[in-house]
Amino acid sequence: MRRSNLDDMPSVACIHRLAFFGAMPHMPVLHTPEEDLAYFSSVVFPHAPIWVGEHSGVVAGFIAFRPGWVDHLYVHPDRQGCGIGRALLELAQNTERALRLWTFQCNLRARGFYEHHGFRIEQETDGANNDERQPDVLYHWTRDGV
């Protein structure tokens, strides 16, 4: 794992898109790949550290987190189940005392992953406040488990 740089943003944006739609192919497509790249380069990168996990020198996953929040955690579909997501999440958990994150209710694999790593459901919504208008779930984790 290493801290990302701007040169990593094309890989980050691509992994986001592949993992997001790989897990939830029915989701509405709201942005182009170019818009995804602009978002990660000009919005996420300047405001939250992004860490990448590599496999054979190629970016295979990433996490963007800031105090109290995991904003993004995605692993390339071909590298899921290999420990990259776990290592990235553990980096955030070792850095922060408490974390929250949102995921979609339909993303059962992500939900199982987070629950396996100690996250507990704090709130479920009908999706009225997310861009996709899909039901989501807010998870909470604390180092002491409370």
CATH (domain of 97): 3.40.630.30
pLDDT values of the chain reduced to their tens digit, one per residue, 146 residues: 999 999 999 999 999 999 999 999 999 999 999 999 999 999 999 999 999 999 999 999 999 999 999 999 999 999 999 999 999 999 999 999 999 999 999 999 999 999 999 999 999 999 999 999 999 999 999 998 76
Total domains, the chain: 1
Helix (H) / strand (E) containing 125 = strand 120-125
Tokens of 61: 């996953």
Domain that holds residue 90: 2-142
Helix (H) / strand (E) containing 45 = helix 45-47
Please compute, for residue 91, the number of CA atoms within 13 A of its CA located in the half-sphere on the CB side: 21
- Global pTM value: 0.95
Q: Residue 146 has what pLDDT?
A: 64
Q: Residue 117 has what pLDDT?
A: 97
